[in-house]
Structure 1
């Protein structure tokens, strides 16, 4: 592994790769929203983009820090990336659903209702209650918070796993 003589900080790598990963995720999300495929299995492509972004960022950090990265540094990089991706995704989702395509929330709510009715076992009153609760989370600042928190939690969990494999700590007695 070739190393660079200029070490980089975990924060700078996390921010750089967070912005790149976030922009790619937003572009993919825009495509899914525009095609009315926001609830298709393709939405998990952004999850794969996050994984690739975290792995590439950790490899970049190691490459520029003489081949070393501690578990904590890897966790910090992944958490920073997921926070930036979450913030970009939350802002994009809010702007898209409240300004660009205000009918998207209605489509998602209709699909959720149809899924609940098809599943069976719920009365109309229970479905109405569920839809009322979902409506509170689909509008406004609560949606932004949910997108951000979900992204950070997912990123931390992924970073724990990825860091365990990518880390290469400095020897203690050198």
Structure 2
């Protein structure tokens, strides 16, 4: 059996997963679902399903139905990498061009939480904290954190899902 690199097939799966995550995000935006809504956690299920699909597709189409843990993880990691890259780019575009008020909404929410949790904060302390928060909520930083966050989540999920997607060939000596 000739081994085929997981990168090519996983890249296509990652593209599909990234597009699915974009559609899900746009759906949440169009339905005006709050940033803190539990519906956001559905994206983890979407990612897990996409990673599992990628691993078993790679196993069954390219590896003659057998795949060790390392191969399954590689397929999942590459899928997550491509999907995270697409999601990170989308996070930037979303914050910069689609939901233009997102940064202001995050800053207002942060200020409200600061005042609720620390009612003794001075205006100077609040301004300083909001200035720091603003640096991390720019569209570019949202893109970076979107990429990094999705990559970490997909890597952890790949480590777990690979346990179930692997299928060792018992006939090989």
Match of 1:88 among 86, 89, 93: 86
Moved more, 114-123 or 86-95: 114-123
Matches of 2:120 and 2:85 in 1, distance apart? 36
Task: Summarize deviations over 1:89-114 as a string: whole Å, max 9, x none.
Answer: 11111112112221121112212222
Matches of 1:109 and 1:166 in 2, distance apart? 42
The match for 2:45 is: 48
The match for 2:169 is: 170
Matches of 1:55 and 1:122 in 2, distance apart? 49
Alignment RMSD (CA, Å)? 2.4
Number of residue equivalences: 170
Unaligned runs of 5+ in 2: none
The match for 2:57 is: 60
- Any idea what SS the aligned residue of 1:170 has? coil
Matches of 2:129 and 2:7 in 1, distance apart? 41
Q: Is 2:77–2:154's contact at 8 Å kept on the other side of the alignment?
A: yes
Change (3 A) 1:63 1:6: farther
The match for 1:10 is: 6
Give the structure-2-normalised TM-score: 0.85
Matches of 2:54 and 2:16 in 1, distance apart? 10
Matches of 2:120 and 2:92 in 1, distance apart? 31
The match for 1:113 is: 111
Unaligned runs of 5+ in 1: none
Match of 2:27 among 20, 24, 31: 31
